[in-house]
Amino acid sequence: MKGNELKPHIGIFGRRNYGKSSLINQITGQSIAIVSDMPGTTTDPVRKTMEVKGVGPVVWIDTAGVDDEGELGQLRVIKTNEAMKHVDLAIIVFSNNVFDTVEETLVATCHELKIPFLLVYTKADLEPPRASFIEEIERRYENKVLVASNKDAYSQTLLLDAIRSSLPETAYVHKSLLGSVINAGETIVLVTPIDSSAPEGRMILPQVQTIRDILDNDCIAVVCKETQLEQQLAAMKQPPSLVVTDSQAFAYVSSVVPDSVPLTSFSIVLAHAKGLFAEYVEGTPTLDTLCDGDTVLMLESCTHKASCEDIGRVKLPNLIRKYSGKQVNFDHVSGLTSLEKLISNYRMVIQCGGCVVTPKQLSNRLQPALNAGVPVSNYGLAIAYMTGIFDRAIKVFR
Of 212, 234, 269, the residue that ends a domain is 269
Range among 2-11, 146-155, 224-233 rated most confident: 224-233
Same domain? For 140 and 263 the reply is no
Please tell me the distance from the alpha carbon of residue 175 to that of residue 88, in angstroms, as a whole number.
16
> Is residue 86's pLDDT more than 60?
yes
Range with the lowest mean pLDDT among 145-154, 182-191, 302-311? 302-311
Strands 242-245 and 117-121: unpaired
Same domain? For 55 and 161 the reply is yes
Residue 2: per-residue pLDDT: 37
* CATH number, domain with residue 48: 3.40.50.300
> Is residue 364's pLDDT more than 80?
yes
Query: pLDDT tens-digit profile of 301-352?
Result: 765 555 546 788 889 999 999 999 999 999 998 876 777 789 999 999 999 8
Same domain? For 304 and 343 the reply is yes
> Is residue 136's pLDDT more than 80?
yes
> Is residue 101's pLDDT more than 80?
yes
Residue 300: per-residue pLDDT: 87
* CATH number, domain with residue 237: 3.40.50.11420
184 touches 216 (CB < 8 A): no
Residue 1: per-residue pLDDT: 36
> Is residue 249's pLDDT more than 70?
yes
Q: Is residue 86, in this structure, part of any structural domain at all?
A: yes
Q: Is residue 317, in this structure, part of any structural domain at all?
A: yes
Q: Is residue 128, in this structure, part of any structural domain at all?
A: yes
Q: Is residue 179, in this structure, part of any structural domain at all?
A: no
Of 243, 269, 295, the residue that ends a domain is 269
Domain count for the chain: 3
The stretch 61-73 carries a mean pLDDT of: 78
Please tell me the distance from the alpha carbon of residue 379 to that of residue 313, in angstroms, as a whole number.
11
- 66-97 burial, b at 16+ Cβ within 10 Å, e below that, comes to bbbeeeebeebbebbbebbbbbbbbbbbbbee
Same domain? For 230 and 355 the reply is no
Same domain? For 263 and 313 the reply is no
Same domain? For 140 and 235 the reply is no
Same domain? For 76 and 100 the reply is yes
Please tell me the distance from the alpha carbon of residue 165 to that of residue 113, in angstroms, as a whole number.
19
CA distances from 50 to 55, 59, 69, 118, 140 (A): 10, 7, 31, 19, 32
Residue 151: per-residue pLDDT: 63
The stretch 10-18 carries a mean pLDDT of: 88
Q: Is residue 18, in this structure, part of any structural domain at all?
A: yes
Mean pLDDT of the chain, nearest integer? 85
Position 126, amino acid: L
* CATH number, domain with residue 286: 3.40.50.11410
Structural domain boundaries enclosing 203: 187-269
The sign of the dihedral angle between the CA atoms of 308, 309, 314, 315 is positive
Q: Is residue 309, in this structure, part of any structural domain at all?
A: yes
Query: pLDDT tens-digit profile of 31-66?
Result: 554 444 444 444 556 787 877 777 778 888 888 888
The distance of Cα 10 from the centroid of its chain, to the nearest Å, equals 14
Range with the lowest mean pLDDT among 12-21, 122-131, 235-244, 389-398? 12-21
Q: Is residue 393, in this structure, part of any structural domain at all?
A: no
Residue 329: per-residue pLDDT: 96
The stretch 191-195 carries a mean pLDDT of: 84
Same domain? For 17 and 164 the reply is yes
Of 245, 269, 293, the residue that ends a domain is 269
Residue 384: per-residue pLDDT: 96
The stretch 202-229 carries a mean pLDDT of: 92
Range with the lowest mean pLDDT among 32-41, 143-152, 188-197, 206-215? 32-41
Same domain? For 305 and 377 the reply is yes
Same domain? For 199 and 307 the reply is no
Same domain? For 234 and 345 the reply is no
Same domain? For 207 and 140 the reply is no
The stretch 3-19 carries a mean pLDDT of: 77
Q: Is residue 3, in this structure, part of any structural domain at all?
A: no
